[in-house]
Chains A and B, each alone.
Chain A
């Protein structure tokens, strides 16, 4: 009897619950899910934005794999995603680990400064780096000149040999702090007595890092690797502000090429098809990272 009354009550709350949930769901459906589904349909259609849409089967997809610029864009995006996530995870974990060895006060100062690029919009960090890479008066070339290494000066962003790695540097510069803060949070959660007993047993710092700290923060490493991979694969603002895809199309990335096709060349169906390929690449990247870095969640 009582339980039936309770379940009737629960049902009443459930109905109200749906009412509470509705506004958020409605807004999300309207501005994300429905356009995405329409985009899927559009990827099988031809459309210049004005005349009516008509189906063309897989033509857009077939075109996209014959499009040298799109293939180059995939290559660049994947390169920036994979390498910048490897670099930022390695440097981030290193910094987080070293933070355990410095005093609390200086540690929190290091942390605040190293993390600050994560809070600055990507456009702005990119524009700041236009000061660094500028060929004539840029910081980097001037520094090389001061160190009598003038021979190493380059036009960093217009030279094919350096442009991608310059972008990579900016992307990692922005991402390292985030990785560091996440992994440091993981390390904070490791119990002190565990480290203490390892020390008493005579374990060196290297052994403690490899056998205790790293295994216990794998969940955080996995998460930060996924974050870094996502931001690298989706990188757009940085490239637009620094190279606009140049020299030529050499540093073009996926979102940029899709944007241009849809909104500058009015090839909406083609852009939609490439964006679906992009979605697949992002999802595969995420699943692969999950598989490669096993983040067993320990009860900490």
Chain B
């Protein structure tokens, strides 16, 4: 079998050059992350004498110190609560909406979804000023809802787009036969259609999670006056000053947030990429 790489790889020199350049690129990308991990296991004394290398005597207590003195636990809880809440809501609202646009004869569905998508390009700051005042008037600022509801809303266009596209690949016959069998629309949706779109759900969950987990600007605005609602991105910004010059503990704090993401999403990368290329079809 002749695959793409065997055809191209006949050029030995270019193969060698490719490995060379990609290895260099990989080092430039990976080293700062590795450096963070190494530093997180060094004592401050070791950090200054052994800057680049692997830690000689791993100091695991850095992690414990970062977790407790840096308030990471509180930030972590807020981030998990806000992110999981918005991921669930986004999935619920945009599967319903995407199904309606894709499979329920809503007129001008193409126009509706493009309107959502176009609006999606507007920079957040053009929304935040008025939204902040709206939420203050409604006294929503002192609860997690101040983050969950907007985070849900802002992820709807892209998620609904993904779901609409995916629902359109499900043959109408399957849906219609369920309808004829007397299933209500909601039963058809839950029992027949949802199980068929698990890959799309995975894509949306990964996307929404990454987007909301790292969101900084709105979180800064809403939690400016609150000691208890701060999420990880906001908390980490203050983290360095709280840790002083304890580089090891500081690095441990950053690693605590980074490692789970890289591990989990390294595994889910294909869904992330699937979502992006779905966007490419209709750019």
Contacts and interface: CB of A to CB of B under 8 A. Distances in A.
Given A31-B153, A178-B276, A240-B237, A195 B7 contact: yes
A102 B130 contact: no
Contact of A263 (B11, B17, B224): B224
* Range class of the A interface residue count: 35 or more
Contacts of A272: 126, 129-130
Given A95-B22, A102-B19, A131-B251, A27 B93 contact: yes
Contacts of A122: 214, 216
Nearest to A184: B273
A286 B126 CA distance: 17
Contact of A205 (B11, B94, B149): B11
A185 to B, nearest CB: 5
B134 A38 contact: yes
B4 A17 contact: no
B76 interface: no
A24 B156 contact: yes
B130 A110 contact: no
B221 interface: yes
B29 A117 contact: yes
A108 B160 CA distance: 30
Contact of B18 (A23, A91, A101, A195): A101
Contacts of A110: 22, 25-26
15 contacts: A13-B104, A20-B104, A21-B106, A28-B157, A32-B153, A34-B134, A98-B22, A100-B4, A114-B22, A114-B29, A116-B30, A119-B269, A122-B214, A122-B216, A192-B4
Closest 9 CB pairs of A and B: A121-B214, A17-B104, A31-B153, A24-B97, A20-B100, A35-B131, A101-B18, A38-B130, A98-B18
Interface of B: 2-5, 7-11, 14-15, 17-19, 21-22, 25-26, 28-33, 35-36, 39, 47-48, 51-52, 93-94, 96-97, 99-101, 104-107, 112, 116, 119, 121-134, 149-150, 152-154, 156-157, 160, 185, 189, 210, 213-217, 221, 224, 232-233, 236-237, 239-240, 247, 251, 254, 257-258, 261-262, 265-266, 269, 272-273, 276-277, 279-281, 283
Interface of A: 10-11, 13-14, 16-21, 23-25, 27-28, 30-36, 38-39, 42, 49, 91, 94-95, 98-104, 106-107, 110, 112-124, 127-132, 137, 139, 142, 173, 176-178, 181-182, 185-186, 188, 190, 192, 195-196, 199, 205, 208, 219-220, 222-223, 226, 230, 233-234, 236-237, 240-241, 254-255, 258-259, 262-263, 268, 271-272, 275-276, 278-279, 282-283, 286, 295, 297
